[in-house]
Structure 1
Amino acid sequence: MSQTFTAAAVQMVSGDDLAANLARAEALVAEAAGRGAQLVALPEYFYLMPGDEQARLAITEPFGAGPLQQRMATLAACHGIWLLAGTLPLAGSQPQRFFNSSLLFGPQGQCAARYDKMHLFGFDDGAERYAEADTMQPGDSVTSADTPWGSLRLSVCYDLRFPELYRHGPAPMLITAPAAFTHTTGLAHWELLLRARAVENLAFVIAPGQGGVHPGGKRTFGHSMIVDPWGQVLACHAEGEGIALAALDLDRQQTWRTRLPALQHRRINS
C-alpha cells in the first residue's frame, strides 16, 4: 500500500444547465488529475443546482445504468483515477422521491461503492427554507469502500452532524463529504464539523463543496477542504470554482494513531 498519495476536492458553482455543469466537472477533474491527484472528489449536486428542486426528479437513473453514471465511469477510466461523483440522482422506491447517492468509481471505470445519503437536510429560519425530504428518500446503510490507501467511509453534507455514522465499524482511514452547505450554516459550522470528524476518527477528510450563488438565489458556502487526522487543514479553496489539492501522508496518520490510540480506547461501540 502506497504511504503517500494526492487527493483533490473540486469546488463548483453549478447552475441549472446540466450539459454546462458536466462539462465544467470534467474540465476540473482533468485539471486535478493533471496536477497529480489520484483521488478526485466532486461536490454534492455537481450535475445540477436548479431553482426548482423538483428538476432533479426528471433525470433520475436506475443504479448501474444511465448517462450520468456512464459519464462518470468513463471520466474515471480516462484519467486512471479514483473518482467520487459527489452525488447523483438514483431512482427511489417511493413515489416522486430519489436517492441522493454518492458513487465512487475506480480507475478502470468500475463502481466501487454506492452510498445513499441517510440524513436529509431540513432548515427554516424564516428567510431560508430547505426540505430535502420533499424530493428525496433517505438511505439506510453505512458504506465503506476498499481503496489502495485503506478504508474510505462515504458521507454527504448534512451527515457531518451525525458522528455515529463515522464510528460504525472499523475506523476508516479516509472520509469523503461532498456538500452543498448553505452559506448560513457553513459560516457557523463547516470547518468545525470537518475538523471534528477528522480528529475523532484520526482520519483524513476530503470535503468538496459548492461555493457561490445558484439559480433561485441560493448561496452555498464553499471552502472545500482536505483535513488531516490531527485536525490541520491541508488545503482549502474558499469561493468560486477551483481545486483544493494536498498530499496525504499515511505514515504520519499511523504515527498519530500509535501515539494517541484513542480508537482503541473506545468503551461505547456502535
Structure 2
Amino acid sequence: MTTVRLGLAQTITHFGARERENLDNAVRLIAQAGALGVDLLAFAENYPGPFTEANRYDVAEAMATAAGEHGVAVAYGTSLPAPDRPGSYNIATVVVDERGQYRGEYRRTHPVGPYIYRDTPEWNFDYVAADEFPVIEMSWGTLAVSICSEVHLPEVSRILALKGAEVCLFPSGLLIDELGYTDNWRTLVRARAIENHMYTATLVNLMDTAMSDQLSSGEPGPRRNGISRGIGMIAAPERVLAQSESPGILTADLDLERIRYLRGTDEELLVPAPYQTIPGHLKWRRPRLYGPLRDS
C-alpha cells in the first residue's frame, strides 16, 4: 500500500462538566472516517482527553475498539501519567492501527516546563516533558508526531525524518487563531514538509467562541457567533494538499512513493523540473559541521 488517506478530525472540544462528551464524539468521528475511506484519522492535542488531573477517565479502550470496528487507524490525544513522577503528566498522542492494536505513542518533549497547562481549570495538570523521539511503524509506512508549539523547533521533525518518518502529525491545542498565529503556524508546518521530504498535517481543538473568550487573558475581542476558526492543513513537500477552518473531517490522499522518490532522487537542472522542490537534499547533510548546534 503506497497511498494513504489521512483525515483530520476538526471538532468542537468540551471542557469541565461536558468534557467526557469528547470521547463519545471521537467514536462517532471514527465511524464517519471509516465511511470516508480514511486510513489514518488524527485528533487535536489532548483530544478526547482527559484535560485535568481531577477528572480522569479512560479513553484507550473506546478509541481502540472504534478503530478496530471501523477499520481506521487513529492518532488520538490524551494525557498520560509521567513515569517516575507521581501526580505529573505527559501530553501524548497514542496511535492504534486499523485493527485497534496499539502501535506506539509520542510524549511531548518541549517545552520542559508547565507552559499553559496550569493556566485554567479547564486544562489543568502538572505537565512534564518527555525525552524520546519515537517513530511508529504502520502497515503502510513510518509515522511520527510532534505536538503543538514544537513546530517552532525544526530539530524535532528533523530527528523524526532521519529516523524514517514519512508522515508527521502536528496536533495543536488551543487559541492558535485567536492569538494571531495561524498564518505563521501553517507556514512552519509546510516548511517542515519541504525541508524533511515528509507529509505534514496540523489541526487544533475548536471551541464555542464564548469559551475561547473565557480562556483569553485579556478583554474579549469583538463578539462572534458560532465556534473558533480551525487551522487544519495537510501539506506535501511540493504543495498544500488541503486546508479548512471548519468543523468536519479534512482529508487528503498521501502518495508515499512520491516521498520515497524525493528522498532518493538527486536534483538535475531540467526545465521544466519533474518536481516542485529540490529532491535528495537530506543526503547533503554534513553532521560533523554541526557541533555548534549540538553543543549550544
| Counterpart-to-counterpart distance in 2, 1:157 and 1:102 | 11
**Structure 1 length as normaliser, TM-score?**
0.83
- Share of identical aligned residues, percent? 25
2:88 and 2:14 map into 1 onto residues whose CA distance is 21
Counterparts of 1:95 and 1:34 in 2: how far apart (Å)?
41
Could you say if the C-alpha distance between residues 48 and 171 of structure 1 is closer, same or farther in structure 2, counting changes exceeding 3 Å? closer
Instruction: For residue 53 of structure 2, give the secondary structure of its aligned residue in structure 1.
Output: helix
Which residue matches 1:56? 52
Contact between 1:149 and 1:173, CA under 8 Å: does it hold in 2? no
The DSSP-based 3-state class of the residue aligned with 1:142 is coil
Aligned to 1:63: none
Distance across 2 between alignment mates of 1:150 and 1:199: 19
Paired with 2:241 and 2:101, the residues of 1 have a C-alpha distance of 29
Aligned residue number for residue 71 of structure 1: 62
| Pair 1:194-2:189 in alignment | yes
From 88, 98, 101, the equivalent of 2:78 is 88
The answer on whether the counterparts of 2:46 and 2:92 sit within 8 Å (CA) in structure 1 is no
* Aligned-pair CA distance for 1:118: 0.8
Match of 2:286 among 245, 252, 267: 267
Counterpart-to-counterpart distance in 2, 1:165 and 1:48: 24
How far the C-alpha of 1:224 sits from its partner, in A, is 1.2
**Matches of 2:242 and 2:55, distance apart in 1:** 33
Give structure 2 stretches of 5+ with no counterpart.
Answer: 217-227, 268-278
TM-aligned CA deviation for residue 48 of structure 1: 4.6
- 1:55-204 to 2 correspondence within 5 Å? 56-60=52-56, 67-85=58-76, 87-92=77-82, 93-120=84-111, 122=115, 135-168=126-159, 169-182=162-175, 183=177, 184-204=179-199
Q: Aligned with 1:58: secondary structure?
A: coil
Matches of 1:134 and 1:222, distance apart in 2: 25
Deviation at 1:148, TM superposition (A): 2.3
Is the CA contact (8 Å cut-off) linking 1:43 and 1:180 kept in structure 2? yes
2:127 is matched by which residue type in structure 1?
A: M
Residue matched to 1:234: 241
- 1:97 CA displacement: 1.9
CA–CA separation in structure 2 for the residues paired with 1:133 and 1:201: 34
Shift of 1:253: 2.3
Kept after mapping to 2: 8 A contact 1:180/1:221:
no
| Contact 1:153/1:172 (<8 A) preserved | yes
* Distance change (3 Å), C-alpha of 1:189 and 1:221: farther
Closer, same or farther: CA 147–185 of 1 in aligned 2, 3 Å: farther
Are the counterparts in 1 of residues 67 and 73 from structure 2 also a CA contact under 8 Å? Answer: yes
Q: TM-score, normalised by structure 2?
A: 0.76
- AA in 2 matched with 1:173: E
Q: SS in structure 1 opposite 2:283?
A: helix
Q: Which has the larger radius of gyration?
A: 2
Say which SS state the counterpart of residue 20 (structure 2) adopts: helix
What is the CA distance between 1:20 and its match in structure 2?
1.7
Check whether the contact 1:44–1:179 (CA below 8 A) recurs between aligned residues: yes
Q: CA-to-partner distance for each residue in 1:42-78, whole Å, 9 max, x for gaps? A: 11122258xxxxx611245xxxxx7311111111111
Task: Give, as a single letter, the amino acid of the residue that structure 2 aligns with 1:226.
Answer: I
* Superposed CA offset, 1:200-253 (max 9, x none): 1110013232134336623765221111122x22112213x2111011112322
Q: CA RMSD in A?
A: 2.5
Q: Is the 8 A contact 2:92 2:108 kept in 1?
A: yes
Kindly indicate whether structure 1 or structure 2 has the higher relative contact order, using CA contacts under 8 Å at least 6 residues apart: 1
C-alpha separation in 1, matches of 2:23 and 2:242 = 24
Question: How many Å separate the matches in 2 of 1:147 and 1:22?
Answer: 24
Alignment match, 1:52: none
> Does 2:250 match 1:244?
yes
For structure 1, which runs of at least 5 residues remain unmatched after alignment? 50-54, 61-65, 124-128
1:21: which partner in 2?
22
